[in-house]
């Protein structure tokens, strides 16, 4: 008994730096956000309003919040659909059709967005498509082209394109590493039975990697609720909030409108959605696969 207590004390001592930082930067802000979500805040003060903030946002009375939720789901779906392209690229990189040197070069190029901050990625895409020094200036000599960030029709897809570019390398790396760990017995047996490359991929490879595919899709949708930097650097949520995400809109409400209660309410709603999606992923998807 004394030994167990001593071991527990040592474990807590070793974990104390992490627990302290986690409490200070994660647990305390989360609890504080829940507390402030019950208040109406203005630059001049605050007052308790109970569940009014939740009714206001959940009932769709704020059109910008509804637009942000819709765009967030769109961004999540686009990031999730990247898994299809990543699957094709990973299959080519692990196939005999591409030599090892070429495959390594492709992997290096695709992984570059993973090590570059979102802000730098957004600014580089904006500069490359700029109407002053970018591709649009080059084409504008012959054709009048509007910058995608300034168009109601293309602003959302402009942000989505950056998400696809940035997430493709990660998705490809995940699928490639999974393909390399597959047992060769199944594939060899299929080849002996006369199966074609497509039949092997469809009936052997795909079922064996379905766990990582499902994980990547659900994870991409959950992480979409945290999208802030791509929107801030590419479109600023415009024009007229048409490309905003829920995280960006909550940040603007906090920093510019001093609407702490509203921003905290949106944050709590997002956390609740992400937590629910994680629970459903584990209960109905992960447990069935694993």
The structure tokens listed for 36 are 């402030």
Residue ranges of the alpha helices (H) in the chain?
2-22, 28-36, 52-58, 63-93, 100-115, 118-128, 135-140, 155-180, 184-192, 197-200, 206-208, 210-223, 229-234, 246-255, 260-280, 287-289
Q: Give the integer Cα–Cα distance in Å for 153 and 52.
A: 34
- 34: Cβ contacts below 8 Å, ≥ 6 apart: 264, 268
Which pLDDT score, from 0 to 100, does residue 286 have? 59
- Of 3.20.20.70, 1.10.3720.10, 3.20.20.220, 3.40.605.10, the CATH number of 62-257 is 1.10.3720.10
Span 203-246, pLDDT tens digits: 888 888 887 888 888 888 888 888 888 888 888 888 888 889 99
**41, β-bridge pairs:** 46
Average pLDDT of the residues of the chain: 82
Helix (H) or strand (E) holding 42: strand 39-42
What share of the chain in percent tops pLDDT 90?
7
Confidence at 269, pLDDT banded by 50, 70, 90:
very high
CB 221 within 8 A of CB 80: yes
Strand partners, 42: 45
Q: What is the domain partition of the chain in residue ranges?
A: 62-257
What's residue 288's pLDDT? 55
d(CA 270, CA 221): 12
Mean pLDDT of 62-71: 91
Stretch 237-258: mean pLDDT: 87
Of 244, 199, 201, 233, whose CA–CA distance to 75 is shortest? Answer: 244
């Amino acid at each position: 008994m004394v030994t167990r207590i001593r071991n527990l004390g040592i474990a807590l001592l070793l974990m104390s730096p992490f627990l302290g930082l986690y409490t200070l930067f994660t647990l305390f802000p989360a609890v504080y956000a829940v507390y402030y979500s019950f208040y109406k805040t203005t630059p001049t003060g605050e007052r308790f309003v109970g569940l009014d903030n939740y009714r206001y946002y959940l009932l769709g009375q704020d059109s910008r919040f509804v637009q942000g939720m819709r765009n967030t789901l769109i961004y999540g779906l686009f990031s999730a659909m990247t898994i299809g392209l990543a699957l094709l690229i990973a299959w080519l990189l692990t196939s005999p059709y591409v030599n090892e040197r070429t495959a390594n070069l492709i992997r290096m190029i695709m992984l570059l967005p993973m090590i570059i901050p979102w802000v730098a990625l957004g600014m580089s895409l904006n500069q490359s498509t700029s109407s002053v020094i970018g591709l649009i200036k080059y084409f504008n000599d012959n054709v009048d082209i509007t910058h995608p960030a300034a168009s109601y029709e293309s602003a959302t897809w402009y942000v989505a394109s950056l998400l696809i570019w940035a997430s493709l390398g990660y998705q490809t790396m995940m699928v490639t590493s999974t393909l390399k760990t597959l047992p060769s017995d199944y594939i060899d047996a299929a080849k002996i039975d006369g199966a074609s490359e497509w039949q092997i991929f469809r009936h052997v490879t795909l079922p064996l990697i379905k766990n990582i595919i499902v994980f990547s899709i659900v994870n991409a949708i959950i992480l979409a609720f945290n999208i802030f930097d791509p929107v801030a650097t590419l479109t600023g949520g415009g024009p007229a909030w048409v490309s905003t995400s829920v995280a960006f809109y909550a940040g603007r409400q906090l920093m510019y409108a001093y609407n702490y209660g509203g921003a905290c309410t949106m944050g709590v709603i997002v956390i609740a959605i992400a937590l629910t999606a994680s629970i459903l992923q584990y209960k109905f998807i992960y447990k069935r696969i694993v």
